Structure 1
C-alpha cells in the first residue's frame, strides 16, 4: 500500500506553513465543536492562540444524528473561520460533509476534515485525492484499522499524499463513555504506516474531565498531535458542550502536555 512504511521507509510530514505534522513537534488543534457566532468564535480563537494552540477547529457544516439539531452556519461559518485566521494567524481545520461543497470548503480551509460518518464515502475520498490540501481523515466509529487505512489509500492513490489520520474513538459495548478511544491504533499506525496521526479525546470520551488524561495517554502512545473541543462557555454550547474544555482547563492541559511531550522526545512549540 502507498501508506505503508515498506514503501516510504520514513515518517511522512504534512507541512502547513511553519507547522509540521508528523515530525518531532506536537501539534495542537482546538476550538468549538461548531461555529455559532462571530463573538463566540473570535473569543475561542483568542484563547487557542494565547494558550499555545496552532490550528483552530470549528464546524461550519455539522453532521447531527437528529435533523432538528443545530446543523451549522454553512458558508457564513466558513467566513468567520477565515476572519479568525486573519486576526490570530491560526490555521483552520473544518469539516467537509458533501461533495457539492468541496470547492467552497477548499477555498476557506487550511485542512479539510472528513468526519467519522464519511470515512467510507469513497466517491468523496477520490475527489479529495485531486486536491492539493491536507486531509484530516477521522476513523469511522465502527471501522477496523484496516478499513481506515484503506480509506486513506483512496485519497493517496488519487494523487493527494497529505493525509493525517485521526483516532476519535470507536463504538464498543461500553456505555460509560461516549466512545472508546483506541490507543492501540496509535501505536499500530506508527509501526505499520508512514502517516501522521492525531487523536480526538473529546469525541473519544464525551466527558470533559477525561479529555486531558486521554490526550496525555495518546501522546505517550505516539500521537503527533491532538484535536480537542474548547468553548468559552461550554454550558451555552449548541453542540457537545459536555465534552468541551473551558479555556482555563485547556491552558492547564497544554502545560501538562508540554511535560509529556518532552518525556517522549517531542516538542510543544507555544
Structure 2
C-alpha cells in the first residue's frame, strides 16, 4: 500500500501516517522526494486494511494498493528514476555507464593491462571476478582473496571504481573493503540470505536477472535489497534460457522498456553472457543502448585466447575500442552521452 502525501506536508503529518502503520503492525519505507513524501506500507495483512484508515489522515493526498508482488522497486513507490552514484559515476543519469574488464582476475599484469584499455576507451568502471562460481568444480574458481587485493590495488592506481561478484554472504563484509560495487550473479538472484546481507551493507549492488526468472521475480528479488535500506540497486539483464541454442542465452531486449515502465531502478545490460561469442557482443550492446539501457557490463580481456574463463565471449582490446566508438552516435540518438 502506498500513501502519497500532499506537496509540502509537514513532518508531523508524515509521522502520523507512520505511527498509524506501526499501530497496525505494518513495516514502513519512506521515499523522501524533492517536493513530497511517499510512504510504503509493507506487510502480509495490507490487503485486509481499509485504505480509508490512512486517507482520512491530515496531509494525505492519495492511498493506492500495489497489486504486484514487488513494492519498493515499483513506479508506484517512486515515480522519478533512481540514480546510483559510485564515486563520481552516476548510473541512471544522463551518461551511459560502461563497466568492462576480464571475467576473472588472473594476474596483476592482466588486470593492469585491462584497466588501461578500459580507461583509455572511455569506460568508467572496471569489472573483474575474484570469486568465480563455475558449473564444474574442476574449473578455475578465481584467485579469491588475492584477486580482491589486485582489484583494490588497480582501482587505486587507475582511479576506476571496481565491480566484482559476491557469492557468499559470509564474504560480503570483508569484500566491502576492496571493491566499490557488489555483483550478484544470475545463480544467486534468489539467494535471499545473500540479498538481505547486501541490503544491510548499503554498498551499490548490480543484481543480475536469473536465467530462468521472470521480470516480476527479478524485481521482487530487488525488494530484498531495498527493504533493508539499500537504495543503491542496479538491475542487469543478461539473457534468459530458452529453447534457442544458437546463442548462449536469449537476450531479452524487451525487458528494458518493461523495467523502465514498471520500475524506477537503473538498468544495465550484459551482452557478453547472452551472446556467448565475441562476434555477437557489439550488435547486442548497440541494441541495448538503443532500447533504453542505462549502461553495459562487458567482458574484455587483454588476450582472450589466453583467458582462463569465458575467453570466447570476451572482446579484445581493439574490438572493445571500436565498440566504444560505435556506441557514441547511438547514445546521442537516444539523448544520452557516453
TM-score normalised to structure 2 length: 0.79
**How far 1:103 moved relative to its partner?**
1.1
**How far 1:248 moved relative to its partner?**
0.5
Aligned to 2:328: 258
1:95 matched to 2:165: yes
**C-alpha distance in 2 between matches for 1:68 and 1:31:** 24
**C-alpha distance in 1 between matches for 2:311 and 2:73:** 35
**How far 1:39 moved relative to its partner?**
0.5
Q: Find the structure with the greater CA-based Rg.
A: 2
**How far 1:2 moved relative to its partner?**
0.9
**C-alpha distance in 1 between matches for 2:183 and 2:95:** 21
Q: Name the one with the larger helix percent.
A: 1
Counterpart secondary structure, 1:137: strand
How many residues were matched structurally?
A: 268
Aligned to 1:27: 97
Residues 109-120 of structure 1 aligned to structure 2 (within 5 Å)? 109-120=179-190
Aligned to 1:214: 284
The answer to whether the Cα contact below 8 Å between 2:97 and 2:123 also exists between their aligned partners in 1 is: yes
**C-alpha distance in 1 between matches for 2:265 and 2:173:** 25
**How far 1:88 moved relative to its partner?**
0.8
**C-alpha distance in 1 between matches for 2:157 and 2:85:** 21
Residues 11-90 of structure 1 aligned to structure 2 (within 5 Å)? 11-90=81-160
Aligned to 2:68: none
**C-alpha distance in 2 between matches for 1:121 and 1:265:** 36
Provide Cα deviations, 1:124-159, integer angstroms capped at 9, x if missing partner: 111111112100000001011110000000110111
User: Paired residue for 1:137, among 203, 207, 213?
Assistant: 207
**C-alpha distance in 1 between matches for 2:258 and 2:165:** 25
Name segments (4+ residues, structure 1) moved above 6 Å.
Answer: none
Q: Which runs of 5+ in 1 are unaligned?
A: none
Q: Name whichever of 96-105 and 66-75 sits farther off.
A: 96-105
Compare relative contact order (CA 8 Å, sep 6+) and give the higher one, 1 or 2.
Answer: 1
User: Paired residue for 2:251, among 156, 181, 193?
Assistant: 181
User: Paired residue for 1:236, among 301, 306, 311?
Assistant: 306
**C-alpha distance in 1 between matches for 2:269 and 2:276:** 13
**How far 1:120 moved relative to its partner?**
0.2
1:127 matched to 2:197: yes
**C-alpha distance in 2 between matches for 1:235 and 1:53:** 22
**C-alpha distance in 1 between matches for 2:176 and 2:158:** 20
**C-alpha distance in 2 between matches for 1:7 and 1:153:** 12
Q: Which runs of 5+ in 2 are unaligned?
A: 1-70
The answer to whether the Cα contact below 8 Å between 2:162 and 2:179 also exists between their aligned partners in 1 is: yes
Counterpart secondary structure, 1:56: strand
**C-alpha distance in 2 between matches for 1:98 and 1:17:** 25
Counterpart secondary structure, 1:112: strand
User: Paired residue for 1:9, among 79, 83, 88?
Assistant: 79
1:159 matched to 2:248: no
